Structure formats: structure tokens, C-alpha cells
Amino acid sequence: FAVYTPAIPKDFGEFVYLMQKKVPLLKRAQVLGMISGGHKTLAVAGTHGKTTTSSILAHLFVAAQADITAFLGGICQNFSSNFVAGTSDSIMVVEADEFDRSFLHLNPYGAVITSMDADHLDVYGSHQNMIESFSQFASLIDEDGYIVLKKGLELNKLPLAHVVTYSSDESLSADVNACNIRIENNLQCFDIKGIFNIEGIKCGLPGLHNIENATAAITLALLNGLPEQYVKPAIESFKGVKRRFEYKFRSEEVTLIDDYAHHPEELKACILAAKQLFPSKEIIGIFQPHLYSRSRDFAQGFADSLSLLDHAYLLDIYPARELPIPGITSSMIADLMREPKAQLITKEGALNIVGLIEDGVVIFMGAGDIDQLLAPAVNVLEQKRKK
């Protein structure tokens, strides 16, 4: 048989050839469900944060020298891979993707749900349909297992599994709270209180969202047998995931960051993290919207998030699997923005902007091919530094 992902168009040459040859075709999600079926599987779902959270979860078990297999949605810097190989008896950590309802092929022993913001409305039709899909996912979790749920998220029906809530807001009284959040020696530090109590956890990743991601991963790991002594050294040594607030160039004057953010909430988290880390610097964002349907559905949200920047620039929409939708362009987002008004630019224009920055932080944001501009952008900054 052959394995494909929903990103492959049905008229793609190789796909058509295999169909004509009557080769059995299985979605990647089906195969992941088959592979994980014989393991104690811990799945991480959510519209944002699942790649980082699942990577932290895998890193926690690796740090404890546990037998672990992991299928991740991005390149974890600690592994230089999106895959960790264990034995046939290993715990399996998987990123559970909600797109195309892929995560309904899994039967996890335990899981995290980080968020259920509206997304993929081209697939789901409505936010409520998407929440229903997450509720179905929660119902698949083993009744002896745990679902670690961000406090405030509401499923349509309670799962049979034990529910443990987490939050970074103590006023919400979650089962596990990240609290006493502070900056020490340029690192975020926090304590965990509730059903687990750990003080002085140091996290090298910026932003409140990453404290929450770490808290979710720690909670599920501890509920599944991770010895508490491994938590602090593992979180401190976690290096992050490629294209998630990844530093590409740093000097005293200019910093270049690459981020996969492609949803308004992800943009907001990324920009606020930059503001937290660089309070005295101007934050410049170059954003490539991803999908016409997403740009249409969340135009105001994108405009609101981009308005947090000191200077905003928009590339053309990256179509991915979609055909253009009449009237849906990057200028529609720009027109909805408050100050600063975004400027529409080409890829060449993006490199020109990078070259003009004398002092500031520039973030390339998007899930399309904007990452192909990074190497030339770094080259521009390197050449400028030599002058």
C-alpha cells in the first residue's frame, strides 16, 4: 500500500497513477493509528501548541531514559528530528492533528488538549463542529487514562477518562497551576502548584503560551509515571522546535526570528513574546497569510494581532491546497488594521526591509514558503555587519 497526507491534491500525478494501478491508499493518520495501536499512546491535540507540547513531552521521557517512541509535527531541536525510535513496548508520544479529523484514527491512553480556537473552517464548516470533533477525540481516550485539559475549554460531553485541568491563571483554580512566573537571568521561571508541586522550573522558551505548553506536558508525563526529579533539568535543557520562535540571526542591534504562526492567536502569542523579551526594541513583522479561506475567516483577527507590531508588512497569500477566492487578498487584512497600517510587499521587498533595519527585532511569520527568505535575509544582515 501507499501512504498519503491530505496535503496531496487528488489530481497529483503519482496519486492518480497509484489509483489507476489500484494500489491500496491509506491516509497517514490511518497508518499512525495502526502503528500506535499496540502502544501506550500519549497524544497531544489542540489548534495551537501541540508541536511544542508533544516535543516537550517526548523530551521529558528521553531525559528520564524511558523507552519512548515519538511522532512529532516539527523538528525538535533536541533530537534534530521529528521522530524518536523506541522498542515495540515503548510509550508512544504522537501529535494529534485535528485537520481533516485525522486525530479520530487514534486510540490514546492519555492526551492533552491545549486549545480549541476556530480553525480549519474549510473542513469543519463551523467552530461548533470543530469542538464536536475534539469531544469525539476525548471520548477515544482510555477510561483508565488521563486527559489534561486547559482550564476553560469545554467539551460537548465529558469523556470516560479522568480529566485533569491546567492553567497559568491561578484565579481559575485548575488542578495544576503554573504560578509565580518571573524572569531570572533572561529565562522564564515558574512554579507548579496543585496536585503536583515543583518550584523553580526554568524554561528557555519565551512567552506565557510556552509556560502553559510546558505545564501541560509535565502534567501528562507525571500522571504517566515520569519521576519528578527529571522535570526541572529536562525543561531547562529543552531547545525548542524549528520554526517556533527560532532565532536565525542575532547582533546587538538586530535580531531575526522565524515563526510558523499562521492563526491570529499564534501571531499574538509570538508578537507578545517578542515584546516581553525585547521591551526596548521596535518589533517588525513580515507575515505571509496561509490559505485564502483562513484569510477570509479570520481577517479581523489577523488585523488585530498584527496591530500589536510597531511595523507590519504583508506578503501575498500563500495558497497551499486552495484556488484563489475572489476578493480575498492580503490588502483586505491591511485595510482592517489599526495603527500601524500594514504595507503590502513582495519577497524582494521583504529583503530590502531587512537590510534597512538599523535597530530592532524582525519576525518572519507564516506557514507557507516564507521560510525560503530566511537564508537570503540572514545573508543581507551578515553582509551589513561586515561593513
What CA–CA distance (Å, rounded) separates 132 from 130? 5
Residue 267: per-residue pLDDT: 97
**pTM as predicted:** 0.89
Q: Spell out the residues 6+ positions from residue 185 whose beta carbon is closer than 8 angstroms to its own.
A: none
What cell numbers appear for 262 in the block? 499562521
Taking only the tens place, the pLDDT of each residue in 284-323 is 999 999 999 999 999 999 999 999 999 999 999 999 888 9
Q: Which residues contact 385 (CB under 8 A, 6 or more apart)?
A: 251
Positions of the chain with pLDDT under 50: none
**What residues does each domain of the chain span?**
37-237, 246-386
- What grid cell was written down for 102? 485525522
pLDDT of residue 339: 78
Tally of CB atoms within 10 A around 334: 19
- Tell me which fold the domain 37-237 belongs to: UDP-N-acetylmuramoyl-L-alanine:D-glutamate ligase (3.40.1190)
* Contact between 337 and 302 (Cβ < 8 Å): no
What CATH superfamily is the domain 246-386?
Answer: Mur ligase, C-terminal domain (3.90.190.20)
Provide CB contacts within 8 A for 80, sequence distance 6+. none
